[in-house]
Amino acid sequence: MSNVFIAFQTNEESRCIIDAIIQDNPNATINEQPAMIKIDVPDSLTIKRSTVEEKMGRAFDLQELQIHLITISGHLDESDEEFTLSWKQ
């Protein structure tokens, strides 16, 4: 089993995204650093637009992730509704 990961800049909007990731990915491990937050998840991580909108209290386009993103590891599959990182077999 391999982990995928995603890292964000530390800011208020990123915190909402991270809260959404934690809600939708119960196996997530959070590693907070002074300027970034890295999230590791075994096999697959999914960010759902609807959950991020709920946490932010506003409409959210998943392309906005790029503003706060530092790095990712895994195969990316993206739609208007979900952003998923996984390791393909």
The tens digit of pLDDT for each residue in 34-81 reads 999 999 999 999 999 999 999 999 999 999 999 999 999 999 999 999
Predicted model pTM? 0.91
DSSP classification of residue 26: T
Top CATH class, 3-86: alpha beta
In 10 A of CB 74, how many CB atoms?
Answer: 19
- pLDDT tens digit sequence for 9-33: 999 999 999 999 999 999 999 999 9
Domain positions in the chain: 3-86
With the CA atoms of 89, 51, 20 and 16 taken in that order, what torsion angle do they form, in degrees rounded to the nearest 10? 140
Name the pLDDT band for 87 (thresholds 50, 70, 90).
Answer: confident
